[in-house]
Amino acid sequence: MNTKLIFILGGARSGKSAYALKLAESITGKRLYLATAEALDKEMAERIKKHKKERGNNWTTIEEPINVADVIQGNKKYDVILLDCLTLWISNLMHNCAIRNPQSAISKLVSACKKTKANIIVVSNEVGLGIVPDNPLAREFRDIAGIANQKIAAAADEVYFVAAGIGMRIK
C-alpha cells in the first residue's frame, strides 16, 4: 500500500479540520487523531470534549503538545494519523523553554512524516494572509509557521487549501 503525506491548509474556522477528518475517514484502517491542543482553561476543555464526541469511536486520540514527531516515529498500530494542528504545535514549541530551535523540530517532524508507514494528514493555519503583526513575538510566530508550512507542503504528496469549507487541491 502506498502511503501519502497530505497537507491541509486554511484560515481560522475555514473548515480545514472537518475537511481533514472527512478525507481521513475515506482511508481504510485504524485511525489516530494526534492533537496538539492542551486543555489549559475551561473553554478549551469544552472544545476538546466536543471535538472528541464529533469524531466518534472510530478514532483513537493522543494529546501531545510537543513531541509529535516521536509519536509518528513510534507508530506501529495506525494506518492513518491526523495531526491537528501544526500552528498550535509551533506555538507550544515557542512557549516551551526546553525547545531552543523550532526549525530542527520542524525538520524532525517532516522526516518522521516521510518515513512512517501510515498515511499522514497534517492540518495547519495559513497565518501569512493578514496584516504584519505589531510585535516581535507575533512576527516570529508568523515567520516560523510560514516556514513550517512551506516545508510540510514541499514534502507532501498532496496539498489542499480550505476556504469556507471548500477544499481546493493546490498540489
Active site residues: 51
Q: Which residues contact 6 (CB under 8 A, 6 or more apart)?
A: 20, 23, 119, 120, 121, 122, 156, 157, 158, 159, 160
- How deeply is 133 buried, as exposed, middle or buried, from its count of CB atoms within 10 A (0-12, 13-18, 19+)? middle
3-state secondary structure (DSSP) of residue 34: strand
